[in-house]
A and B are shown apart, each in its own frame.
Chain A
Amino acid sequence: MTPEGGAPPRFARGVRFRRMDDGSGVLLVPEGVVNLTESACAIAELIDGVRGADAIASALAASFDAPREQIAADVSELLDAFAKKTWLDRPEPAAT
């Protein structure tokens, strides 16, 4: 299950990303507050229902000094983890 080619992810109703005063970020979800790592925050902040996974990776590659393939893999991994928790609205992956 990869986001490439899928519709741009957005947070499901009942899930909100929030930046804290100290710069850290959390996901507010029905079951509580999920602390995010800095790199997860950078990705979560770009989940807007407009950018696809590729666009998110490109935006991050422009601002972070890391190989684009590595960033794309991180984005894909985080989106998959969020999707498994039902925190994203994303079309069904095409059957393979």
Chain B
Amino acid sequence: MIAPRPLSLLAELTYRCNLQCPYCYNPLDLGAYRDELGVETWERVLEEAAALGVLQAHFSGGEPTLRADDVCRLARKARLLGLYTNLITQGTFLTDGLIAQLEDAGLDHVQLSLQAARGHGADAIAGATVHEKKVNALQRVARSGMAVTLNCVLHRANIDQVDEIVAIAEAAGVRRVELANVQFYGWAFRNRSALMPTREQVTRASEQVAAAQRRLEGKIEIGHVLADYYERYPKPCMDGWARKFMTVAPDGRVFPCPAAAAITTLKFENVRDRSLSDIWNSSDSFTAYRGTDWMAEPCRSCDRRETDWGGCRCQAFLLTGDASRTDPACSLSPDHGLVDAALSADGASAPWTPRRMRSAG
């Protein structure tokens, strides 16, 4: 099939990070990504992405501001290429000086994450004493006039704090909040039983989010990423494999989804060896699950096949070992019992493994 036009590039500049969030979707073998692309190569990647039709560049990691000079240089480059630029950061390195430099570079938007609403709990999740500093960074970015989204990943330990998280955004003058139920990839998959919220928690949080959305309409836009294990149908992950999105990892490998490195049955190409356009249009990994031809039943004959695109390939692989199966999060999947089993496992007392660069594996 003819490749569609990509809309968005996720540029993961580094997997280094000073925090240890147990829900990180980065891969477990972080140490394998230490050979990071240089800034000149990243500039070429941005040029090739813009030529392919990409409209938005998201700079992420790891913590991208550990490469602060490069982030500013690449944001400027992306803006010159006409791209919309977004920085995804946990904010612990956002000095006033860096905020001013990012603004000067033409950065369009900052997405800043908090781990929870309350300091002690948030720091326990981050594995570092950073909450107050991060709230302060949020306030300073908002005050600078730059567009900012407050993001919080919701899971068992913080999902009861929805109202308090929204209150932090209101107080800071933030225009957008993203409350994202944890998705189980990378470290989050490894820590799934410890992070899994209960059905009661998810239901209550959804009601609180809906109430906040109504109350703040026109003032704060509140995005809500659902807990797919509890849903009837799977998420339309990436809006379909290799349809709109691509991720370039710190080592230069290119993925249709930021979690796709986990699919060990695919070989992913590297921008050091091939052009982005080649990889997007014709690499085996990008064409493998593009469109609907690859689908088996029940997806193949399903009315929703071009609504949710079979769900998530990475999740299918993580749960069944076969990336071409229907996402087990779908209630129609023959493997849906795997999801039910995960939900009925008691994780209340399970410890989590903090994200670490050097992992015992």
Contacts and interface: CB of A to CB of B under 8 A. Distances in A.
Given A14-B109, A14-B175, A84-B217, A30 B7 contact: no
Nearest to B108: A14
Contact of B111 (A12, A18, A30): A30
Interface stretch (B122-130, B160-168, B219-227, B341-349): B219-227
Nearest to A16: B84
B176 interface: yes
A12 B175 contact: yes
B203 to A, nearest CB: 24
A89 B217 CA distance: 14
Interface in B79-126: 82, 84, 86, 108-109, 111
Contact of B109 (A1, A30, A33, A85): A30
B106 to A, nearest CB: 11
A30 B55 CA distance: 12
Interface in B154-207: 175-176, 178
Contact of B175 (A16, A18, A86): A86
Contacts of A46: none
A93 to B, nearest CB: 9
B88 to A, nearest CB: 10
B89 to A, nearest CB: 14
A78 interface: no
A31 interface: yes
Instruction: State the majority secondary structure of interface residues on B.
Output: strand
Contacts of A14: 108-109, 146-148, 175-176
Contacts of B7: 32-33
Interface string A29-55: 011110000000000000000000000
Given A15-B147, A28-B55, A33-B7, 7 more contacts: A14-B109, A14-B146, A14-B175, A28-B108, A30-B147, A85-B221, A86-B221
Interface of A: 1, 12-16, 18, 26, 28, 30-33, 83-86
26 contacts: A12-B147, A13-B108, A14-B108, A14-B175, A15-B147, A16-B84, A16-B108, A18-B55, A28-B55, A28-B56, A28-B84, A30-B86, A30-B109, A30-B176, A31-B221, A32-B56, A33-B7, A33-B56, A83-B218, A84-B217, A84-B218, A85-B221, A86-B175, A86-B176, A86-B219, A86-B221
Those 7 A-B pairs whose CB atoms lie nearest each other, nearest first:
A14-B147, A28-B84, A13-B147, A14-B109, A86-B221, A30-B109, A86-B175
